[in-house]
């Protein structure tokens, strides 16, 4: 797709366009949350939607996350497709009981009679110099909960396409938006085919080792691969797109090809999605591996203050340092 | 807020007093309707008794009885129209049955199965909620969606006195009031949350009085007085249907039995306290009244008892039939389409089962 025909938009605009298109196409889609109407969201993701579609489709709620998600459950039970915003990752925690006990389980509790096509949008992760409670990588909580689909776009085009797929899904989707990319511009072809949820994509083929990442860590992994290339090492990058369902097939095909794998993620590493990926790859690719699967993650500390966050976030140097440990000396 | 509104939120509305006499100044209730209500009370009581017996026989894993609260159970169902929704808790089995759902289906969960048993959409009855008050925001959502769609659906949302301490109770009441959602919050104040008495849940003048803070009407009603309950709840339903928003109704009642069969109420309340409540029985006062006006005689009483007995027999038969739980179905409904991982786990369990069967 050439830049002459494809408009550039920020990730916030891509998500806004996805919401706009979904509301226009399907009368049952409703958008609500805190500050999403008149203000257009604290990140302006819902800018103009209330003006263009009115109070019945896009509305502000009282400030109560459990109430927001709980109301979404009821609206979905009554035929709507709610898309709710949690404003910030750590502000979603009051809704945790609703998400875990109802959103995730309703299909199972009703033997499939009641499906909840809810999308819970969560601006997530760090890198914005945010004060405490504004930068959590909370994906493991959701990924650990059977019944939830967990999606984390890394590109603006995927932010559009995966959100359309999430809204169309019959299952509840936790949609993790890497907030540090809200205002970066990229080409987005809204007429492109909507990517299926549950399929990873190879962002960069490589023959020496595979970096596995999702959400905000994908651009970091790509930068590391570009740097490695200048140093004579050919690293591939797999973008998961969906954490749940997990695409074992694509991930393992790449790792089997390269024989080495590093998982990159911002969240603290202990009992994390990165740990799950490392375990899955180890179980499935053991005979193809030339070195243990390594993880580059955040430290097991609360998300640090703005002045220290650069020490916490996995960066190019830390990734390449870990790549250097992949037992190259044993390579034939 | 007027003095009248405050009084309604604190002083329980009554129609039939504890001895089955009309409260002074109230008109006679419709005898035919009350007779039908009595029949439903007898069914609810019989269902409670039958379920208690099935627990003792090991046929139900657990049963939270609504004995003593049958008037609440019957009234909240009888005031709803077909298209309205009911959001029950685990103690509201009799209310769901009064709504017309087969009690055997309702008891699916309590038999130890993993799903709610009935079709919530067909019956317009949500699955029984175990986590306290979490179903109340759902009720608001169903009501708000109905309003957006231009439907005049009303939602009856049930909870107990303990649940009013939960955050979701507050959030649901506030959301409903702000959105003028067509919801009736019906609190069965049975005085105990397992062992913890009402005084440790709240020192508000009444639970209905909490409505004042949300800007909605709160009404307290004698929870063992069927005609009063049907009147108060019926008015709240009518308000909701007319687009006038939610109402909080508190029923003053009492949990005669322990929390469940696994509980021992003697550890936290006296026999005298229970004995005080027994004469206020919701069946007794309707029976006394109907007998007094000649609407209920021995023949009619026997007829109702026989029908309730037939219902109980059907429950016994249904619950005693072996459940056919398919282990592979554990994976079937977690997602609309099982993920590759769940499909793999199902195949692995199948292989284990095949090995055991071989």
Least CB–CB distance from B137: residue in A66, A110, A149:
A66
> B17 to chain A nearest CA, in Å?
38
pLDDT digits (tens, 9 = 90+) for B70-90: 999 999 999 999 999 999 999
**Which of A70, A105, A250, A284 to probe by mutation at the B interface, max B CB count within 10 Å?**
A70
Does residue A65 surpass a pLDDT of 70?
yes
Residues of chain B with C-beta less than 8 angstroms from the C-beta of A97:
131, 134, 168
> A216 to chain B nearest CA, in Å?
25
> B199 to chain A nearest CA, in Å?
26
Residues of chain B with C-beta less than 8 angstroms from the C-beta of A147:
334-335
Task: For B11, list phi and psi in degrees, rounded to 5.
Answer: -90, 120
Q: Looking at residue B1, what is its pLDDT?
A: 67
Does residue B357 surpass a pLDDT of 90?
no
Q: Determine contact: A3 vs chain B, CB below 8 A.
A: no
**Which of B137, B175, B325 to probe by mutation at the A interface, max A CB count within 10 Å?**
B137
Residues of chain A with C-beta less than 8 angstroms from the C-beta of B134:
70, 97-98, 101-102
Least CB–CB distance from A66: residue in B119, B121, B168:
B168
What is the distance between the alpha carbons of residues B79 and B253, in angstroms, rounded to a whole number?
19
A60: left (phi over 0), alpha (psi -120 to 50) or beta: beta
Q: How far is CA B112 from CA B63, B189, B328, in A?
A: 11, 27, 16
Q: Is B268 a catalytic residue?
A: yes
* Strand B155-160 to B183-189 pairing: parallel
How sure is the predictor about A332, in pLDDT bands with cuts at 50, 70 and 90?
Answer: low
Q: What's the whole-number mean pLDDT along residues A169-197?
A: 95
What is the distance between the alpha carbons of residues B111 and B323, in angstroms, rounded to a whole number?
9
How sure is the predictor about A1, in pLDDT bands with cuts at 50, 70 and 90?
Answer: very low
Q: Determine contact: A205 vs chain B, CB below 8 A.
A: no
pLDDT digits (tens, 9 = 90+) for B266-322: 999 999 999 999 999 999 999 999 999 999 999 999 999 999 999 999 999 999 997
Q: Looking at residue A11, what is its pLDDT?
A: 97
Whether the CA torsion A47, A52, A58, A62 is positive or negative: it is: positive
Q: Looking at residue B358, what is its pLDDT?
A: 83
Q: Is A144 a catalytic residue?
A: no
Q: Can you tell me whether residue B87 is helix, strand or coil?
A: strand
In the stretch 257-296 of chain A, residues with CB closer than 8 A to chain B read: none
For B140, the closest chain A residue by CA position comes to A71
Q: Looking at residue A329, what is its pLDDT?
A: 87
* Interface confidence (ipTM) of the complex: 0.96
Which of these is catalytic: A50, A102, A133, A134?
A134
Does residue A50 surpass a pLDDT of 60?
yes
- What's A201-330's CATH class? alpha beta
Does residue A139 surpass a pLDDT of 60?
yes
> A325 to chain B nearest CA, in Å?
31
CB atoms within 10 A of CB A118: 27
Annotated domain spans of chain A = 8-187, 201-330
Which of these is catalytic: B255, B280, B285, B287?
B255
Q: Determine contact: A245 vs chain B, CB below 8 A.
A: yes
Report residue A259 CA to chain centroid gap: 26
For helices B31-56 and B226-241, give the axis angle rounded to 10 degrees. 100
Which of these is catalytic: B14, B67, B259, B287?
B259
Least CB–CB distance from A77: residue in B119, B142, B148:
B142
**Mean pLDDT of chain A, nearest integer:** 96
Does residue A2 surpass a pLDDT of 90?
no
- Which of B347, B120, B350 is CA-nearest to residue A107? B120
pTM flag (> 0.80): yes
How sure is the predictor about A6, in pLDDT bands with cuts at 50, 70 and 90?
Answer: confident
Q: Looking at residue B2, what is its pLDDT?
A: 82
Residues of chain A with C-beta less than 8 angstroms from the C-beta of B214:
none
In the stretch 148-167 of chain A, residues with CB closer than 8 A to chain B read: 149
Whether the CA torsion A89, A92, A98, A103 is positive or negative: it is: negative
Q: What's the whole-number mean pLDDT along residues A191-212?
A: 96
pLDDT digits (tens, 9 = 90+) for B96-142: 999 999 999 999 999 888 899 999 999 999 999 999 999 999 999 99
Which residues, including other chains, have CB under 8 Å from residue B295's CB and lie 6 or more apart?
Answer: B31, B32, B34, B35
> A73 to chain B nearest CA, in Å?
5
DSSP label at A286?
A: G
Overall fold of domain A8-187 = Rossmann fold (3.40.50)
């Amino acid at each position: 797709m050439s830049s002459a025909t494809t408009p550039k938009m920020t990730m916030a605009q891509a998500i806004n366009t996805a919401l706009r298109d979904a509301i226009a196409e399907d009368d049952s889609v409703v958008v609500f949350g805190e500050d999403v109407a008149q203000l257009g969201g604290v990140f302006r993701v819902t800018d103009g939607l209330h003006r263009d579609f009115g109070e019945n489709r896009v509305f502000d709620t009282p400030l109560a996350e459990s109430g927001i998600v709980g109301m979404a459950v009821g609206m979905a039970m009554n035929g709507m497709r709610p898309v709710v915003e949690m404003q910030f990752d750590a502000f979603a925690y009051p809704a945790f009981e609703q998400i875990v006990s109802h959103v995730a389980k309703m299909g199972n509790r009703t033997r499939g009679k009641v499906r909840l096509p809810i999308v819970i949008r969560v601006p997530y992760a760090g890198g914005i110099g945010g004060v405490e409670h504004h930068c959590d990588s909370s994906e493991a909580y959701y990924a650990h909960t059977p019944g939830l689909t967990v999606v984390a776009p890394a590109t603006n085009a995927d932010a559009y396409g995966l959100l359309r797929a999430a809204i169309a899904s019959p299952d509840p989707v936790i949609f993790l938006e890497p907030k540090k990319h809200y205002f970066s511009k990229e080409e987005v072809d809204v007429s492109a085919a909507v990517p299926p949820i549950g399929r990873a994509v190879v962002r960069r083929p490589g023959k020496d080792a595979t970096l596995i990442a999702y959400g905000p860590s994908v651009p970091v992994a790509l930068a590391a691969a570009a740097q490695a290339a200048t140093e004579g090492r050919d690293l591939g990058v797999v973008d998961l797109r969906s954490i749940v369902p997990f695409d074992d097939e694509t991930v393992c095909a790449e790792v089997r090809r390269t024989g080495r794998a590093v998982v990159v993620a911002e969240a603290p590493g202990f009992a994390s999605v990165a740990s799950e990926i490392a375990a899955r790859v180890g179980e499935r690719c053991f005979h193809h591996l030339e070195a243990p699967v390594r993880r580059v993650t955040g430290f097991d500390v609360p998300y640090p203050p703005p002045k220290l966050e650069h020490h916490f976030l996995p960066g190019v140097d830390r990734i390449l340092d870990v790549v250097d440990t992949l037992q190259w000396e044993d390579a034939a | 807020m007027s003095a009248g509104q405050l009084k309604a939120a604190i002083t329980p509305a009554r129609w039939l007093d504890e001895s089955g006499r009309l409260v002074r100044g109230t008109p006679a209730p419709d005898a035919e309707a009350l007779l039908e209500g009595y029949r439903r009370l007898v069914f609810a009581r019989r269902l409670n008794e039958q379920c208690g017996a099935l627990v003792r026989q090991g046929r139900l894993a657990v049963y939270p009885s609504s004995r003593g609260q049958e008037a609440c159970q019957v009234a909240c169902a009888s005031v709803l129209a077909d298209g309205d929704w009911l959001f029950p808790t685990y103690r509201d089995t009799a209310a769901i049955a009064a709504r017309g759902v087969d009690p055997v289906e309702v008891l699916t969960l309590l038999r130890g199965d993993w799903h709610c048993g009935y079709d919530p959409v067909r019956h317009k009855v949500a699955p029984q909620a175990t986590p306290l008050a979490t179903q109340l925001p759902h009720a608001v959502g169903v009501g708000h969606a109905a309003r957006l769609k231009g439907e005049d659906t009303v939602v009856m949302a049930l909870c107990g006195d303990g649940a009013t301490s939960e955050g979701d109770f507050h959030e649901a009441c506030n959301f409903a009031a702000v959105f003028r959602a067509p919801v009736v919050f019906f609190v069965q104040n049975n005085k105990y949350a397992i062992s913890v008495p009402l005084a440790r849940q709240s020192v508000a003048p009444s639970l209905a009085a909490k409505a004042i803070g949300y800007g909605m009407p709160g009404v307290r009603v004698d929870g063992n007085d069927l005609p009063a309950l049907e009147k108060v709840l019926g008015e709240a339903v009518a308000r909701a249907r007319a687009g006038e928003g939610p109402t909080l109704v508190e029923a003053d009642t009492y949990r005669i039995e322990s929390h469940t069969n696994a509980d021992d109420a003697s550890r936290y309340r006296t026999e005298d306290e229970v004995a005080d409540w027994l004469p206020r029985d919701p069946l007794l006062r309707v029976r006394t009244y109907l007998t007094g006006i000649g609407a209920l005689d021995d023949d009619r009483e026997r007829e109702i008892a026989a029908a309730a007995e037939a219902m109980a027999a059907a429950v016994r038969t249904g619950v005693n039939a072996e459940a056919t739980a398919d282990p592979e179905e554990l994976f079937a409904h977690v997602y609309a389409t099982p993920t590759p991982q769940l499909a793999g786990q199902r195949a692995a369990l199948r292989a284990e089962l095949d090995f055991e069967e071989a």
